[in-house]
Amino acid sequence: MKVTQEGNTVILEDVKNFNPKHIFECGQCFRWIKQDDDSYTGVVMGKVINVKKEGDKIYLDNTNKEDFENIWYDYFDLGNDYEEIINKLKVMDEYLDKATQFGEGMRILKQDGWEMLISFIISSNNRIPMIQRAINNLSKNFGTHIGEYRGQDYYAFPTPEQLNKASQEEIRACSTGFRDKYIKSTTQIVNDENINVLDYRNLSTEECLKELLKFNGVGPKVGDCIALFGMQKYDTFPVDVWVKRVMQEFYVDEDLSLTKIRKFGIEKFGELAGFAQQYLFYYARELGIGR
């Protein structure tokens, strides 16, 4: 991979397996918005960045090589060999072969654990536009103003200290719905007990999930999502309605419980379960499999 900088734009050449649409629209992130020019603008770790692919080049706008090396290389998981991951998955069965082809260029982002904790509490029984609205409202009302980019103001996701200053009513006013009490309770615990959610990355997957499930509003599926997207626990297998449908369509009996489907996925796909889940989820949702 060749990395150069022109002005405020970092240009990546010869990047394998990097498709912005499949990365940002596969359900793993909520602060990346598609622009009119087919680029995606995101807010990550207090920074605003725009990503666009043209030919075999990836353009990262509003950044520099130093931030690429210190933030974006890790965030976009560029140190992981996705060709190797895909080759291992696609030989498992014909369904993963098709799903990995369909989701070509998808990567699992290394996102902030605290932001994922609150974001996936908000995601429970919710639609992506509503999740995005709630997260943006919380950021605008309680986060730090980052600045303006292309005529729009952007705000960082609030820290536990910042969000803890919000009342339950103020959190609800951000379009969080019934999840307001869970967000308030979780924020209060993290803040009062001085918990660094990022430390959960250092735990085993089982211990990580055990800690996450202690928070109000975090059930098995939400916990698995936080562990996968915020803690890099790739041996998890979150099961939502789309994963249930694709698993019933291709792998398991219709009457199998979500818990048993999860167990099946973890046992079948092993240390790559999280990657398999993302390819299968995106494949099922986009093609309406199992409807």
Q: In a 3-state reduction of DSSP, which class is residue 106?
A: coil
**What are phi and psi for residue 128, nearest 5 degrees?**
-55, -45
pTM: 0.95
Distance from chain centroid for Cα 232? 10
Tens digit of pLDDT per residue, the chain (291 long)?
Answer: 999 999 999 999 999 999 999 999 999 999 999 999 999 999 999 999 999 999 999 999 999 999 999 999 999 999 999 999 999 999 999 999 999 999 999 999 999 999 999 999 999 988 999 999 999 999 999 999 999 999 999 999 999 999 999 999 999 999 999 999 999 999 999 999 999 999 999 999 999 999 999 999 999 999 999 999 999 999 999 999 889 999 999 999 878 899 999 999 999 999 999 999 999 999 999 999 876
- Per DSSP, the three-state class of 96 is helix
What is the radius of gyration, based on Cα positions, of the chain?
A: 19
Q: Are 154 and 237 in contact (CB under 8 A)?
A: no
Please, what CATH class does the domain formed by 241-287 belong to?
A: mainly alpha
Sequence spans of domains, the chain? 2-79, 113-231, 241-287
Q: What angle do CA 54, 26, 200 make, to 5 degrees?
A: 115
Residues 113-231: name the CATH superfamily: Hypothetical protein; domain 2 (1.10.340.30)
Among the listed residues 200, 199, 205, the one whose alpha carbon sits nearest the alpha carbon of residue 262: 205
> Do the strands 2-6 and 32-34 form a parallel or antiparallel pair, or are they unpaired?
unpaired
pLDDT computed for residue 78 by the predictor: 97
pLDDT at 291: 66
> What is the rounded distance in angstroms from the CA atom of residue 249 to the CA atom of residue 255?
12
Enter the tokens of residue 289. 């499999």
Q: How many CB atoms neighbour CB 66 within 10 A?
A: 10
Q: Which amino acid is at 274?
A: G
In contact, 110 and 74? CB cutoff 8 Å: yes
CATH number of this structure's domain 2-79, picked from the four choices 3.30.70.580, 3.30.310.260, 3.30.565.10, 1.10.8.60: 3.30.310.260
Distance of alpha carbon 223 from the chain centroid: 13
Q: What does the pLDDT read at residue 145?
A: 98
Do 113-231 and 241-287 come out as alike in CATH topology? no
Per residue in 55-80, pLDDT tens? 999 999 999 999 999 999 999 999 99
pLDDT recorded at residue 193: 96
92's tokens = 């498992």
